[in-house]
Amino acid sequence: MDSFAALRPRRKTRVVNVGGVAIGGDNPIRVQTMTNTDTLDIEATVAQIRACVKAGAELVRLTTPTPKHAQALGPIREALLKEEIVVPLIADVHFLPAAAFEALKWADKVRLNPGNLFDGKIFRELTFDDASYAKEIERIEESLLPFIAAVKASGKALRIGCNHGSLSDRVLSRYGDTPLGIVESTMEYLRIFKKHDFHDIIVALKASNPLIMIEANRLLIATMDQEGMDYPIHLGVTEAGNGEEGRAKSTLGIGTLLMEGIGDTIRVSLTEDPVKEIPTCYGILQATHRRITRTEFISCPSCGRTLFDIEPVTNLIKERMGHLKGLHIAIMGCIVNGLGEMADADYGYVGGAHGQVSLYRKKTLVKRGVPEKEAVDELISLIKSDGKWVDVKV
Ligand code: SF4
């Protein structure tokens, strides 16, 4: 797609099928979110999933703290299918193994958190030597064996999702509160599943601090590569907050790793309606050039030289031309930096004299002195005459 040196090749991962949506390999980087309704409230949960899917969510995770919550995925899916909404449902399990077993019956993917499934956290300092720690790993393996058999028989996928905030006392005592702790907590599970020949796994390491999240993921990739694991990676900065803060943290954490070729699916976790997470996900994918889903816009910040009211014009152009996937459109206040900055653009809308606009195809001026009121329509006509226009899908 891009030949920029800044964008490293995407890491080769295996393809994991989650309810008909393929994750990893050369598949598009998937966008997911999580409901914040009570999963037992079927109507509210279905309404939220409907809205998220409409906004572009390709997978939806729901919290399933108990087997009863896991069972609720049955009627939720049924209601969605009645409306012809087909979307993979992921059960989010913590603490209760029984919920994980039940979730295998109803979900397309089950998330396990190694920090709290067969381990606990009450901030105890534990002491281990190598032998006693190895015994702990054996204990976890034994505990996991029935689940491994069940997940294999189910044909469902698994997410090993480790959060910085939920590392067990065992891991904290051995590795400290560090990215290494997050990685080892995950690797312990991955090694066990690999040993027992189960590989339909997606891995997620999250932290609320994007710097820790970035470092943990880099270390995870290095460790997985050393051990011959190619599981797809889900990226997210957990508890990122809301508003600009949440979006900035998420963009830093997810965007940095995407640029390095890491990441097969993403979620932006905001303290907001989950529907609002989706545009940010697509924005990060577009900005990193990992998944182009709409028009690429370049617009100047405007200054004293600006020859038209650039903000409303930019909004209008984005509204009317934002669906032209892959096309680059530049909106520039004047010619000073305009031509240089828009060198990569397919079309340019540039302030000429007051109240007049110049339209460019690539670097070539094709219309000069277009009255401002007509310029947006003229730009659309130009795109149409080049055969690059598509109508918005209704
Ligand atoms: S392109 Fe022109 S109007 Fe826009 S910021 Fe640069 S100098 Fe100012």
Residue 287 has pLDDT above 70, yes or no: yes
Backbone angles phi, psi at 329, to 5 degrees: -125, 130
Structural domains for the chain: 16-287 (3.20.20.20), 296-385 (3.30.413.10)
Please give the number of the atom of ligand 1 that sits closest to the Cα of 305: 3
Q: Which of 297, 298, 299, 305 gets mutated to test ligand 1 (max ligand atoms within 8 A of its CB)?
A: 305
334 alpha carbon – ligand 1 mean position (Å): 5
CB of residue 314 inside a 6 A radius of ligand 1:
no
Q: How far apart are the first and last CA of the chain?
A: 28
On whether the CB atoms of residues 229 and 190 are closer than 8 A, the answer is yes
> What tokens appear for 61 in the block?
């995770």
Contact 170, 137 (CB under 8 A): no
State which ligand 1 atom lies nearest to the alpha carbon of 338. 1
Q: How far is the CA of 57 from the centre of ligand 1 (A)?
A: 37
Share above pLDDT 70 across residues of the chain, in percent, rounded to a whole number = 97
Q: How far apart are CA 241 and CA 251, in angstroms?
A: 12
User: Using one digit for the tens of pLDDT, what is the confidence trace for 100-147?
Assistant: 999 999 999 999 998 888 876 677 777 888 899 999 999 999 999 999
Q: What is the pLDDT of residue 1?
A: 46
Does the CB atom of residue 330 touch ligand 1 within 6 A? no
**How far, in Å, are 328, 329, 360, 388, 394 from residue 323 at the CA level?**
11, 12, 20, 11, 12
Distance 366 CA to ligand 1 centre (A): 20
Instruction: Output 81 or 126, whichever has higher pLDDT.
Output: 81
Of 208, 253, 202, 255, which is closest to residue 224 (Cα–Cα)?
A: 202
- Residue 337 CB less than 6 A away from ligand 1: yes
Q: Is 338 close to ligand 1, i.e. is its CB under 6 Å away?
A: yes
Average pLDDT over residues 187-215: 97
> Which residue puts its alpha carbon closest to atom 6 of ligand 1?
337
Q: Is 176 left (phi over 0), alpha (psi -120 to 50) or beta?
A: left
* pLDDT tens, position by position, 203-260: 999 999 999 999 999 999 999 999 999 999 999 999 889 899 999 999 999 999 999 9
Record the tokens describing residue 201, joined without a space.
């796994």
Q: Is the pLDDT of residue 4 over 70?
A: no
Tell me the C-alpha distance between 207 and 210, whole Å: 7
List, for residues 330-343, the tens digit of each pLDDT value.
999 988 766 777 77
Atom of ligand 1 nearest to the CA of 307: 3
